[in-house]
Structure 1
């Protein structure tokens, strides 16, 4: 049997291989035991799921195990976005939630994500405890299951629909009246849980909406449900082909990530959206506090922070670290280059729904498309161009890679290294302000290479130097 291992966003596996009912029940019991040991049994747990195969079934089996362990369970009545589940944890003051989701992974995957009572993704000390408990139980019948009808009669199980309260709260954080003046908005929930969460509130406030991929499809149209340029060409072509569309907004499978398409069909990198929204929230909405970004995220964020005189928190990759800062009310906005962000006063979890609506508000208020807003920002703080590549390692290089970066070279691409950052991976900051980050995958023989420079030409030089350093 394979060990249960929680990554940055929970335990994920391939359906019918390791992600099977028996393992799901064991992990659920491990979470129940963790909650009981923490003295939070009486608070109950929420159980949700995304739009993947068998999501409802897995959720119901988890509810049987939880109620069998004496934990009151609130079962979502339809596939539900991850940020909405986080909102419901805080609203109901539960001990947390179990969410069946593999986020943007391909359709053959599913996963379990545990979020504790503070609403963000579980921190490593929590996931390590759940891992330990689960792996100690592998191969044993270690749980007691309660029939769901009996659980309902005992008032240990109830179905919930958290959409209304979440959208009511969102209406206080987004200026829908401004968005209504923008014009037509294209919405693409990528067959996932964002269905209805973007289009319905927009239409309720008088916005004309056109939709694509707005029905449930566990195959996600044959692609991973990720709103990146590679996987949403149908949406890009839709926006490009209709001059009435002023903005395209998309969410991933569990609606915690966002994708933005400008009115001319240009895909806008998430890195730049984080910086643009930081500037907008400070300058227009008057928000105060710091800003958080992962070590792999653009330093355009830092340049905007410097412009406004605010503190920057650099975190390891994994939104739990940013969520913790939101929970502590230390930051205005926190984001990652992988298209996750949230803001002060909101959930300590990535929220693609909120991100999309804030971008729509910003574009409507400023009266400019996103690319022109970005050019305006570049004029104020300088230009930043960022890219990520995955480098597959031959076996002989993978074995030696851990030692390769322990001793930093004096220069990269002819420029002196000024600083070495080892928060997560190895990041070299160069004398001209450009940087390279090397992060080894924990699950495959791949190094993720991130680079940022003030121009495309310089970026290509950096990436070439990074590839040479990895493969030499």
Structure 2
């Protein structure tokens, strides 16, 4: 085994986003591309010498090869140990748990989350810190600077490490520990929830279906839902992780999880439906004939979390990303809890969790989590829902109805305009930014603008400031529009337009969501001049 130092040059475009570096797989396959970024990670965190890392991912195309490269680079850079999931598999929540449980110095996660996989689709690499959460803004900046200064990377010349079975191997003086990717996570879940109550509910005839979307949560859901909680065999569908996710798009929403929606819309629908995404950190909840919006799900969990053993003492506080609907704010006000609004990106919840200011947090893009780890956690959200249903004896639909009657309904939708030429998308935001001070009092589509401002965030723990995190436009009658450009895509720009309307009349709780939001949608197009800047009149995705 020979350590090599390979000369290289900086590669443009390696600035990590809110969830690491995501590009088309073929970009990562280019010479030195992966190696440059991995070396930048190791340099950006102050070196790998004597450190312990966790490694794994969602099993998408190129993960197996990338894992072997990262192991050889970690060894050549002097790492003491790498704990890697069997087959290079680890859901993002499981990786976060393993980092925390084993006291690791961080972890490298191979995933592009909910993006499609395959040689012509997407790949991603991100670094999580010692707290188990995504790298802080400071660390991310150091990694980016390292990508611009790199002149060489270090890698061990060696054969592949056997990752097919648990056990310990040696690689150039570094210990490679291959672990069961499910065991530690399943043990954590069993300690958080009342498995006996859930098991009794399922044993009493409660039927559920979970769509793993041929992504990483298949083995986790099978072990927990079927093996430990007694759900019928086959309740977990599409349970085998595949490099291309079976040709599907592993994003748990009604568009891409159509199979689940069809099952839950049938006359003999199960009592509960759920799905998770590529790396296991997002979730979708469905009742018979009823999709639960992620913002509503967060609010329901905040209102009822105390029914699960881990949260029986109540919640310290809650947090949501700024674009997420204000449904959870209403719960916090009623329960006397503090509610924080943060920029988009799970890393911003980390300080609040570490400082003990919040217990529960979530975002509109189907991510929900708590202080048990430092990532959003799809299967955890499913289990908390099941625990609440078991404790209340209510079905999903009845629970939602009771929630709206107590707190009101926040009609909410996100419209995504994808693949916009970056310059056009930035021009739209710049134009709107330049008109903010003139918007209050403006009438658009029958709605009046009450206020308009760009969202800047000052972290209450460390005082760090994140500027220009999205534009908020408040409308009369509880309406709200948020516009921001997303950093999770791999080509062009995605304009995300978030739309919200608060309804307190129970007779209007069952209007079609897009119809209930029609005036807010029209106002958003008029105020932001979407068609003028993009040529688009309709979004690519309504979530």
Q: CA contact under 8 A between 2:315 and 2:360: conserved in structure 1?
A: no
Shift of 1:18: 4.1
Which residue in 2 is equivalent to 1:386? Answer: 412
Contact 1:98 1:115 (C-alpha < 8 Å) held by counterparts: yes
After TM superposition, the structure 1 = structure 2 runs for residues 109-148 of structure 1, keeping only pairs within 5 Å, are 109-137=122-150, 140-147=151-158
| Residue of structure 2 equivalent to 1:257 | 282
| Distance (whole Å) between structure 1 residues aligned to residue 279 and residue 367 of structure 2 | 12
- Equivalent residue for 1:171, pick from 190, 195, 198: 190
Structure-2 residue corresponding to 1:240: 265
User: Aligned partners of 1:337 and 1:97: how far apart in 2?
Assistant: 26
| Structure 1 residue aligned with 2:459 | none
Alpha-carbon shift at residue 170 of structure 1 (Å): 1.0
**Alpha-carbon contact 2:411-2:517 (below 8 Å) kept:** yes
Shift in Å at residue 26 of structure 1? 1.5
Task: Tell me the residue number matched to 2:296.
Answer: 272
| Distance apart, 1:237 and its partner CA | 1.7
The reply on whether 1:348 has 2:374 as its aligned counterpart is yes
The Cα shift of 1:155 comes to 4.5
Give, in angstroms, the shift of residue 189 of structure 1: 1.0
Q: Is 1:459 the equivalent of 2:507?
A: no
| Alignment partner of 1:198 out of 221, 231, 249 | 221
Secondary structure (helix, strand or coil) at the match of 2:517 reads: helix
Query: Which 5+ residue runs of structure 1 have no aligned equivalent?
Result: none
* Aligned counterparts of 1:369 and 1:459: Cα–Cα separation in 2: 27
Q: 1:93 aligns with which of 103, 108, 111?
A: 103
Kept in 1, the 8 Å contact 2:362–2:368? The answer is yes
For residues 178 and 412 of structure 1, do their structure 2 counterparts lie closer, same or farther at Cα, with a shift above 3 Å needed?
farther
Q: Return the alpha-carbon distance in structure 2 between the equivalents of residues 464 and 319 of structure 1.
A: 30
Distance 1:400 1:343 in 2: 35
Structure 2 residue 448 is matched with structure 1 residue 415 = yes
CA distance change for structure 1 residues 403 and 91 in 2, over 3 Å: closer, same or farther?
Answer: same
- Deviation track 1:282-308 (CA, whole Å, cap 9, x = no partner) reads 467342311000001110100011110
Determine the C-alpha separation between the residues in 2 that align with 1:22 and 1:151: 25
Q: Mean Cα displacement is larger for which, 183-192 or 214-223? A: 214-223
Figure out how many residues of one structure are paired with residues of the other and give that number.
466
In the alignment, what sits opposite 2:352? 325
Q: TM-score, normalised by structure 1?
A: 0.92
Contact 1:291 1:305 survives alignment (8 Å):
yes
Find the counterpart in structure 1 of residue 401 from structure 2.
Answer: 375
> Residues of 2 paired with 1:371 and 1:190: CA distance?
24
Tell me how far 1:372 sits from its aligned partner. 2.1
CA distance in 2, matches of 1:239, 1:42: 51
2-side partners of 1:199 and 1:87: how far apart? 19
Equivalent position of 1:444 in the other structure: 492
1:40-79 paired onto structure 2 within 5 Å: 41-72=49-80, 73-78=82-87, 79=89
TM-score by length of 2: 0.81
Distance in 2 between residues matched to 1:213 and 1:427, nearest whole Å:
39
Shift of the 416–468 alpha-carbon distance from structure 1 to 2, 3 Å rule, reads closer
Distance 1:389 1:127 in 2: 28
1: CA distance, partners of 2:425 / 2:19: 28
In structure 1, what is the equivalent of residue 465 of structure 2? none
Contact 1:26 1:143 in 2 (8 A): no
Consecutive unaligned residues of structure 2, counting only runs of 5 or more, are: 1-10, 162-168, 457-468, 504-512, 533-543
Decide which moves more: 75-84 or 404-413. 404-413
